[in-house]
Structure 1
């Protein structure tokens, strides 16, 4: 299921607080089955872009199309229900979406809301809980009593229970230790491939971009300033410096080695194994 933004401009408002033009004339096409990382500085519009995909922000100009369903200014009740069944969004802070008395009730909420029976919803809860690496014994616990990593897994389980075609995650590794973060991202990648999902993540970690994403979108001041394949994106170092974008660890080491040795390595190295192979190929190690 593809995601399309056609000249989308939107404000964001909570009560009396209004942030104008959090999205400014966005044109963007994310093909079905793609895995895209969205990057940019704080306030650049990354989270707003994700919220527009889920109908949490409505354009006042332009339109967002998810599959065959369109959101635009005006009445969107039917469209929003359809989109929220297909687009699963995991917020940066899991507390934002955990609200029920128990983990089981929290995970069951989405399926029940879309007409699944209680018996089937409970069965789904057990299946998705196992998928995120948690034991069934946690079902009776309050989600707010869990550790940060467990909360994030439960939040993801609640989204997976709805069997979305599109998975949208805002900083899925935030606040986790390196091992926990790697486990979460590896799980997301496995689901992406197995279920042939369209996946979008916001991240500040360029190693995450290099390791997991196929495409990258750069946001600045509510606008998309770059949409490119990951390997191509990390080729132009001067452009990255202009955007104040870091490079993955392997790419940084590659640039240092090339500068010190005067030897140009074949291709752009995004992972340490790729860098090792390139060094062997040119005879440096």
Structure 2
């Protein structure tokens, strides 16, 4: 079931031992549409990862609440209510393969469902389904996860999240550390799950080409605040604003601006992908 996400006046601090960072989130108000694919961008330390972690209580709000469907995360959640929230949110951290630990791929994927009370035989069926969802097959299930390539490990780690059948998928730089082909394969799979299963999806990324290719909407964060939230074309339309945030633009958009400057011809729309740029060049007779 597709779930909406709503932040209401959410502020949060981050504490690791004696080190405390105040206002990693600062009075955040946000509504994320059900089934949407939202990219979260901004400079390092802007609060992007914190925005995701507060959803399942990894960081507790000191003020306000996050509503996930009918569930709520606030400063006074008890462990039982947080467990209900976490059943519905699949969170993929940076380098999720570092969390692999079991002796077989099957056992690793089964861990999450078993932890939430699913029986062993059902968990194994979930593992079979999930391994195919990430583009692998059942022959991988008896293998040691540590014998796999980096890209395969990443897929197995994500399969462990998908096996829990989340309603919401949140990802922190899911393509980090992968070669370009492996990264595009992972992101294409994520986009496919979003569309085919109506999984509300939020993804932190620094790669503007990935934002342009996969996202419906964009959130820009600065100093714990949301300073922009709109659709992807509106985001890439305002170059001055993008520069003020010290963010980049997609390669296709960069080529479009160069072509328009050199030829004096304005293309009929903002081009976010190479395919869109090629179509527009044909339309105006420049290709």
> For residues 184 and 266 of structure 1, do their structure 2 counterparts lie closer, same or farther at Cα, with a shift above 3 Å needed?
same
What do the CA deviations read for 1:101-158 (whole angstroms, capped 9, x no partner)?
Answer: 3322211111112221101101111121122122333323343443321221111100
State the secondary structure of the residue aligned to 2:141. Answer: helix
Please tell me whether the aligned partners of residues 258 and 264 of structure 1 are also in contact (alpha carbons under 8 angstroms): yes
| Structure-2-length-normalised TM-score | 0.95
> For residues 266 and 87 of structure 1, do their structure 2 counterparts lie closer, same or farther at Cα, with a shift above 3 Å needed?
same
> Aligned partners of 2:237, 2:109: CA distance in 1, in Å?
42
- The answer on 1:257 being equivalent to 2:256 is no
Aligned twin of 1:125: 127
For residues 1-12 of structure 1, the aligned pairs below 5 Å read 1-12=3-14
In structure 2, which of residues 78, 81, 84 is the aligned counterpart of residue 82 of structure 1?
A: 84
State the secondary structure of the residue aligned to 1:194. Answer: helix
What do the CA deviations read for 1:164-209 (whole angstroms, capped 9, x no partner)?
Answer: 0000111111111111111111111111111111001111111100
Aligned twin of 2:234: 232
Aligned twin of 2:205: 203
Aligned twin of 2:159: 157
State the secondary structure of the residue aligned to 1:133. Answer: coil
Query: What are the ranges of 5 or more consecutive residues in structure 1 without an aligned counterpart?
Result: none
Deviation >6 Å, runs of 4+: none
Query: What are the ranges of 5 or more consecutive residues in structure 2 without an aligned counterpart?
Result: none
Please tell me whether the aligned partners of residues 54 and 88 of structure 1 are also in contact (alpha carbons under 8 angstroms): no
> Aligned partners of 2:285, 2:140: CA distance in 1, in Å?
53
In structure 2, which of residues 266, 269, 285 is the aligned counterpart of residue 267 of structure 1?
A: 269
- The answer on 1:57 being equivalent to 2:62 is no
State the secondary structure of the residue aligned to 1:140. Answer: coil
- Higher mean C-alpha deviation, range 269-278 or range 132-141: 132-141
For residues 26-45 of structure 1, the aligned pairs below 5 Å read 26-45=28-47
